[in-house]
Amino acid sequence: MRGNSNSFLWHEVWRHRHFYLFISPFFILFTIFGLYPLVFSFYLSFMKWDGLTDPVYVGLGNYLTLFQDEAFYTALWNTLVMGVMYIPPMFALAFVFALLLNQPGRRIQGLFRVAVFMPCITPMVVIAIVFSLIYSTESGLLNWLLRTGNALLPFAPLSPVPWIESESWSKVSVSILLVWRWTGYNMVLMLAGLQGISPEFYEAARIDGATPLQRVWHITLPLMRPTFVFCAIMSFIGTMYMFDEPFVLTGGGPGMSSTNVGVYLFNQAFTDFRFGYASSAAYITALMVFVASLFVLRRRGDAA
């Protein structure tokens, strides 16, 4: 029976070979650039390899070293701190913009959508150059505003801030950039969620005399919960794997003040050439992301 089923299966595959031929490029590319690196990096996590010499099997040595590495915990802490700094204001701005753009009868809604979403598709190098000029201690826009405010309000002294040269302000600087860059992305997701809410709910609430604020509180927010959960999970994943913003803007410095997990992994792999150790750190990070995402989904299911 098993032989007959296998021959029947191969017969069907051969009979539909033209269809499989058309979809094969995706699977070939995925195997080469997706599946193979994933499996190879897992293999490397048990090896000591610098990319030049032969790999040396170390078992769980890389993982044990990782759990004792204070630099990894510092990078993890910096990642979480920057996430707490930028995700709440980004969500608030995205939701407010989505509410404003969801109002009917706005002639220039398309223009505002493009304007808010534009930072998401702007090259990171261009963004870093612009923000480096804005954050400049001597001639930056922010410090110019602080000096102007100090001249106009002498009773509230405002001194220039070393935005990207100070360990105290580097994470704040990266967080401001993240809010500016990713608010538009979350706005589009929330706008899609708002447009999925039936207008009948608002009509019924309006007939009952509910104010606009009450309609948002009792209708919009509860029905937007799945969208909020999705945005939260995507933002958390993006925070854990964030690399471009801190690397290009501050290089992870000064010191390790803005080194997040992404920059830490890059430094371990391509600066120190510890590919096996970097692979183990990457898999531990992926495990933490998986557990945290699963926890959020379970909590949402329990609450529902």
Angle in degrees, CA 297, 195, 104, rounded to 5: 150
Q: Partners of 48 in the beta sheet?
A: 56
pLDDT at 139: 81
Find out whether 71 and 260 touch, Cβ atoms under 8 Å.
no
pLDDT at 186: 94
Torsion of CA 278, 281, 286, 290, to 10 degrees: 170
Q: What type of residue is 199?
A: P
pLDDT at 117: 85
**Sequence spans of domains, the chain:** 1-36, 63-303
Distance (Å, rounded) from C-alpha 147 to C-alpha 159? 7
Architecture of domain 63-303: Orthogonal Bundle (1.10)
**Is there a cis peptide before residue 212, judged by omega within 30 degrees of 0?**
no
pLDDT one digit per residue (tens) for the chain, 304 residues? 455 666 777 877 788 788 888 888 998 999 999 999 999 999 999 999 988 889 999 999 999 999 999 999 999 999 999 999 999 999 999 999 998 888 776 666 777 878 888 888 888 888 888 888 899 888 888 888 888 877 666 665 677 888 888 888 999 999 999 999 999 999 999 999 998 888 888 888 888 888 888 888 988 999 999 999 999 999 999 999 899 889 988 888 888 999 999 999 999 999 999 999 999 999 999 999 999 988 888 876 555 5
Question: pTM of the prediction?
Answer: 0.86
